[in-house]
């Protein structure tokens, strides 16, 4: 196994691990406030769950990039490519956008979701607006996902 | 196709037909009644409110009592389903006249009294239970103590002291006590993480010397405060016996409540008839009356006017009705009337906010964009088809409320859009076609290679550019709509200066950026357009300022807004990213399924993995598509032209919660 592939592995691991951790924190934050709202009004379960799920997407994006990296270096095909150190670094770098932005955006999206949950608890008629607030944060996760995909796509193996 | 035309109406009628008239209006359900304001409608100078006969029959109180009963009873037995389930169960249908009869015969007072007493009993039992549980938890800590709490208090010569102390203080305490009094006995009853439960046994006469030492080491004395007698062991037994009794009583009461609920399903129609009654009472508060006449004011959709006039003529004589167009500035309620095909998309606009009465209904244009964008975000034939089929099934087979049908129709369209998007990028449950047996290679080839216009995993740029182009289209549409809106409001010059100048500038920039793909002379033309656009922005955007320098300055500053448009357009790249994400996650699950290589049961497991995985992906991608699509409409599109803030049209009608009322 070459050095390059170790770095590629690190890239996949960071994308999956960091973005996943961020989502876990975010979903946790939203969940706490969701549970609080439901003690008052359990009928809001559906909406609360929806808002709680929003910060969960970063983890999926991370997994997605990790998966793309692993496919790219031929792990699933059973014949891992031989990567130079340079190529490995390229792959590692291309995993970073979703790893970093995924981690932080998920946490802040969790906070925005918690706020939105508070909003629908008091003013259920404003559900549409409440859904948009966390989605604003998610934009940057989507953009970093896009960045990671484009970077990864540009690597010549 | 847009916002319904709405008229204002005034009805004047003789007092004697007040009740039947209101009843009729409510059953027609096509008009919203509003407050008659004294200042504006001078005619009503000496008119009074008709409050005196409101609530005489105590509808509000009755309704409250019935609500109480329903809140209590609905927890027991499965009479009416709550929450999400109510979406899937059809409501019982009653005819209005029949309903009134049923309710008259229904003795609700009796049930209310029963409910109330059962409820208070239940509350008492809950209190008892809590008390017992607290006692149990407290006494369990002393379970190992082999003494009677009550008895040790009455000893003549020996003082027993129960209490807790922090572990770290214990050794010092024992030392100090031994130092003071050798006869004292210290016994640990129970050890917790940081605390010890202790009993001290000491001669009564020596206790006064011990007490300060206890205080010094923060020893917390435990006072037993419950009526039970005996050793902790015995007390715990008594408590659990009592808990059993309470549980039995509760069970009995719950059985009674379940029976009460089963036998009195009529309470649901009663609730609804009362709330209909209540709405009528509320409407009365908005009316005015003189000696002989009542006046009703309100809003009605123009399409219902004829129906209303006809019905009124059939039933009443002593009335007069007149219609007028709303004046500017009046808070006209909004009802949307769109073609059935795009009606479901009203949900998206309504989630944001209804339009103002004097502006354009965004629904028709929004529906086109929403449809296209959803398809690009979901972009999978399998998921789109599942969504479309499930919602089609829901609409056909389940008996749904109007609102729910609208929602499922929206999902149905979204599903179809997902199918189209999937065909476009060649995604069928991800890459599941790759696992087809080689004989069917031709089909695969046709579906994935020929039919699909994009191969985003191999070459992402074309689809990304398509997403951005759609973004440009929508942003331009938004600006153009604002321009149209300005013209409608006789502000042509504002429109030319604010919107057309930007349209020129942005078009110029785009042409300039893409000039590589066009004939050579376009380069110069695009440059010219850009410059003209920029100049007109600089010259016009500061027109609010008086000082000529300030005016130019703010004009130049306005050019900076171009970054806003740039980020708006870039925001549409999410269409591409989300679409790709759906496909790749699906691919991931397909691969996971092939990894289950266990003999015999592997096949089954693989199918389970596929079902669970794809369901998960459908849910999460569908949710993402729904929300991000809506966000693009709200943040990138609506901000260009949409004022919103309309209040919904809420007709005075037979509104029900648990049943359907049929009225002919």
Does B317 share its domain with B349? Answer: no
CB contact under 8 A, A132 and B581: no
Q: Structural domain tally of chain B?
A: 3
Asked whether residue B94 is domain-assigned, the answer is no
Q: Which residues of B touch A153 (CB under 8 A)?
A: 460
**Which residues, including other chains, have CB under 8 Å from residue B531's CB and lie 6 or more apart?**
B508
CA pair distance A79, A73, nearest whole angstrom: 8
Domains present along chain A, CATH in parentheses = 3-154 (1.20.120.610)
> Any chain A CB within 8 A of the CB of B158?
no
**Could you say which of B171, B201, B230 is where a domain stops?**
B230
Give Cα B565 distance to the centre of its chain. Answer: 32
Q: Which residues of B touch A127 (CB under 8 A)?
A: 351
Asked whether residue B297 is domain-assigned, the answer is yes
Residue of B nearest to A41 (CA): B83
Strand partners, B202: B159
Helix (H) or strand (E) holding B161: strand B158-166
The mean-pLDDT minimum among B36-40, B201-205, B517-521 falls in B36-40
Asked whether residue B177 is domain-assigned, the answer is yes
Structure tokens at B132: 């017992």
Does B222 share its domain with B297? Answer: no
CA pair distance B400, B632, nearest whole angstrom: 30
CB contact under 8 A, B574 and A143: yes
Mean pLDDT of the B299-315 span: 89
Predicted local confidence at residue B88, as pLDDT: 56
pLDDT at residue B80 is higher than 50: no
CB contact under 8 A, B581 and A53: no
DSSP string for B583-649: HHHHHHHHHHHHH---TTTHHHHHHHHHHHHHHHHHHHHHHHHHHHHHHIIIIIIIHHH----BPB-
What is the side-by-side order of every strand in the sheet holding B185-191? B185-191, B195-203, B158-166, B220-221
CA pair distance B12, B22, nearest whole angstrom: 12
Does B577 share its domain with B548? Answer: yes
Residue from B407, B457, B572, B581 whose CB has the most chain A CBs within 10 Å, to mutate: B581
Asked whether residue B152 is domain-assigned, the answer is yes
CA pair distance B418, B410, nearest whole angstrom: 12
**B199-237 residue pLDDT tens:** 888 888 888 888 888 888 888 888 888 888 888 888 899
Percent of chain A at pLDDT > 90 equals 53
Cβ contact B296:B13 at 8 Å: yes
Does B511 share its domain with B622? Answer: yes
Residue range of the domain that includes B38: 2-60+279-324
Instruction: Write the residue in A53, A76, A149 that is nearest to B591 by C-beta.
Output: A76
> Does the model's ipTM exceed the 0.85 cut?
no
Does B415 share its domain with B512? Answer: yes
Does B305 share its domain with B388? Answer: no
CA pair distance B110, B117, nearest whole angstrom: 11
Does B309 share its domain with B354? Answer: no
> Any chain A CB within 8 A of the CB of B460?
yes
Does B301 share its domain with B178? Answer: no
Asked whether residue B406 is domain-assigned, the answer is yes
pLDDT at residue B79 is higher than 70: no
Residue from A23, A57, A66, A124 whose CB has the most chain B CBs within 10 Å, to mutate: A57
Could you tell me the pTM of the whole model?
Answer: 0.80
Q: Which residues of A touch B631 (CB under 8 A)?
A: 132, 135-136, 139
CATH number of the domain where residue B172 is located:
3.30.70.100
Does B496 share its domain with B574? Answer: yes
Instruction: Write the residue in B460, B587, B635 that is nearest to A132 by C-beta.
Output: B635
Predicted local confidence at residue B423, as pLDDT: 93
Does B535 share its domain with B390? Answer: yes
> Any chain A CB within 8 A of the CB of B633?
no
Which among B386, B423, B353 has a CA at the least distance from the CA of B579?
Answer: B423
Asked whether residue B243 is domain-assigned, the answer is no
CB contact under 8 A, B620 and A131: no
Asked whether residue B374 is domain-assigned, the answer is yes
**A129-147 residue pLDDT tens:** 888 889 889 889 999 999 9
Does B295 share its domain with B355? Answer: no
Mean pLDDT of the B424-451 span: 85
Does B320 share its domain with B347? Answer: no
CA pair distance B121, B74, nearest whole angstrom: 17
**B46-59 residue pLDDT tens:** 777 776 665 566 78
Predicted local confidence at residue A86, as pLDDT: 92
Q: Which residues of A touch B (CB under 8 A)?
A: 42-43, 45-46, 50, 53-54, 56-57, 60-61, 63-64, 67-68, 76, 127-129, 131-132, 135-136, 138-139, 142-143, 145-146, 149-150, 153
CATH number of the domain where residue B290 is located:
3.30.70.120
Per DSSP bridges, beta strands B319-324 and B220-221 are unpaired
């Amino acid at each position: 196994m070459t050095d390059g592939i170790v770095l590629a592995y690190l890239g996949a691991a960071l994308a999956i691990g960091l973005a996943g951790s961020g989502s876990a924190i975010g979903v946790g934050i939203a969940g706490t406030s969701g549970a609080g709202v439901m003690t008052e009004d359990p009928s809001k379960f559906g909406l609360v769950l929806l808002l709680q799920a929003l910060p969960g997407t970063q983890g999926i994006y991370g997994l997605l990039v990790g998966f793309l990296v692993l496919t790219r270096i031929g792990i699933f095909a059973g014949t891992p490519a031989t990567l130079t150190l340079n190529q490995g670094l390229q792959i590692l770098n291309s995993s970073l956008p979703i790893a970093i932005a995924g981690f932080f955006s998920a946490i802040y999206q969790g906070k925005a979701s918690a706020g939105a949950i508070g909003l629908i608890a008091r003013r259920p008629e404003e559900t549409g607006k409440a859904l948009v607030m966390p989605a604003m944060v998610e934009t940057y996760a989507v953009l970093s996902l896009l960045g990671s995909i484009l970077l990864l796509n540009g690597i010549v193996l | 196709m847009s916002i319904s035309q709405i008229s204002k109406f005034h009805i004047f009628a003789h007092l004697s037909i007040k009740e039947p008239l209101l009843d009729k209006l409510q059953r027609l359900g096509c008009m919203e009644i509003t407050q008659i304001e004294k200042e504006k409608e001078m005619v009503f100078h000496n008119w009074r409110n008709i409050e005196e006969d409101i609530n005489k029959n105590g509808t509000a109180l009755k309704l409250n009592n019935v609500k109480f009963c329903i809140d209590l009873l609905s927890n027991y037995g499965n009479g009416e389903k709550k929450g999400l389930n109510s979406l899937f169960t059809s409501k019982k249908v009653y005819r209005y006249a029949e309903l009134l009869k049923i309710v008259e015969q229904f003795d609700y007072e009796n049930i209310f009294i029963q409910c109330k007493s059962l409820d208070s009993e239940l509350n008492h039992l809950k209190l008892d239970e809590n008390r017992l549980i607290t006692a149990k938890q407290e006494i369990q800590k002393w379970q190992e103590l082999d003494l009677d709490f009550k008895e040790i208090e009455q000893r003549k010569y020996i003082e027993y002291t129960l209490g807790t102390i922090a572990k770290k203080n214990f050794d010092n305490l024992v030392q100090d006590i031994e130092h003071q009094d050798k006869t004292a006995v210290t016994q640990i009853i129970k050890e917790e993480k940081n605390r010890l439960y202790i009993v001290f046994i000491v001669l009564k006469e020596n206790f006064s010397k011990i007490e300060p030492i206890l205080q010094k080491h923060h020893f917390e004395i435990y006072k037993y405060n419950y009526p039970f007698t005996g050793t902790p062991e015995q007390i715990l037994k008594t408590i659990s016996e009592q808990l059993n009794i309470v549980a039995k009583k509760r069970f009995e009461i719950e059985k009674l409540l379940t029976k009460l609920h089963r036998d009195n399903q009529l309470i649901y129609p009663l609730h609804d008839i009362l709330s209909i009654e209540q709405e009528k009472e509320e409407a009365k508060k908005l009316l005015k009356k003189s000696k002989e006449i009542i006046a009703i004011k309100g809003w009605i959709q123009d399409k219902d006017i004829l129906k209303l006039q006809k019905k009124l003529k059939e039933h009443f004589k002593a009335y007069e009705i007149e219609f007028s167009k709303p004046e500017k500035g009046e808070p006209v309620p909004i009802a949307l009337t769109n073609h059935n095909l795009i009606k479901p998309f009203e949900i998206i606009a309504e989630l944001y906010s209804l339009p103002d009465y004097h502006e354009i209904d965004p629904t028709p244009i929004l529906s086109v964009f929403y449809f296209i964008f959803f398809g690009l975000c979901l972009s999978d034939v399998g998921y789109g088809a599942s969504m479309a089929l499930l919602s089609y099934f829901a609409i056909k087979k389940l008996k749904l409320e109007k609102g729910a049908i609208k929602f499922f129709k929206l999902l149905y369209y979204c599903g179809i859009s997902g199918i189209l998007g999937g065909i476009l990028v060649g995604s069928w449950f991800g890459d599941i076609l790759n696992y087809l047996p080689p004989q069917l290679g031709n089909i695969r080839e046709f579906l994935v290679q020929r039919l699909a216009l994009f191969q985003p995993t191999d070459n992402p740029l074309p689809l990304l550019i398509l997403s951005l182009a759609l973004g440009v289209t929508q942003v331009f549409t938004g600006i153009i709509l604002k321009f149209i809106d300005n013209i409608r409001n006789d502000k042509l010059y504002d429109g030319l200066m604010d919107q057309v100048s930007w349209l020129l500038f942005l078009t110029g920039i785009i042409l300039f950026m893409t000039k590589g793909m066009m004939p050579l002379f376009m380069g110069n033309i695009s440059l010219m357009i850009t410059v003209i656009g920029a100049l007109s922005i600089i010259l016009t955007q500061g027109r609010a300022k008086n000082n000529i320098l300030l005016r130019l300055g703010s004009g130049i500053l306005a050019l900076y807004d171009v970054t806003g448009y740039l980020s708006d357009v870039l925001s549409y790249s999410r269409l591409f990213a989300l679409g790709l994400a759906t496909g790749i996650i699906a691919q991931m699950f397909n691969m996971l399924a092939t990894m289950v290589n266990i003999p015999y049961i592997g096949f089954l497991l693989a199918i389970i993995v596929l079902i669970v995985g794809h369901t998960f992906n459908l849910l999460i991608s569908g949710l993402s598509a729904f929300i991000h699509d809506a966000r693009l409409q709200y943040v990138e599109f609506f901000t260009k032209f949409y004022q919103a803030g309309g209040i919904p049209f809420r007709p005075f009608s037979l509104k029900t919660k648990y049943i359907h009322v049929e009225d002919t």
